[in-house]
Amino acid sequence: MPEVKSIFREVLPKQGQLSMEDVPTMVLCKPKLLPLKSVTLEKLEKMQMEAQEAVKQQELAMKEQ
């Protein structure tokens, strides 16, 4: 294959500053799945339901006596 020469050549300034523009791009990452309820909240709700059931059973026992 014949070697292709570029028609553009690199030009660097002899004086002054050389600057480059960096265009920020968006980086996508995996979504983080969060639980709707935390484990602690589920435990607290379970304890609260058990306590309510115990109170209901005590009230029923009191009514029967």
Domains of the chain: which residue ranges? 36-64
SS3 content of the chain, % helix, strand, coil (to 5): 40, 0, 60
Reported confidence tier of residue 59, pLDDT bands at 50, 70, 90: very high
Residue with the bigger pLDDT between 43 and 35: it is 43
Mean pLDDT (whole number) for 23-28: 84
Across residues 48-54, what is the average pLDDT?
Answer: 96
Query: Per the structure block, which two tokens stand in for 35?
Result: 């639980």
Tell me the pLDDT band of 6, cut-offs 50, 70 and 90.
Answer: low
Q: At residue 1, does pLDDT exceed 60? A: no
Tokens of 32: 């983080």
Mean pLDDT of 34-59: 92
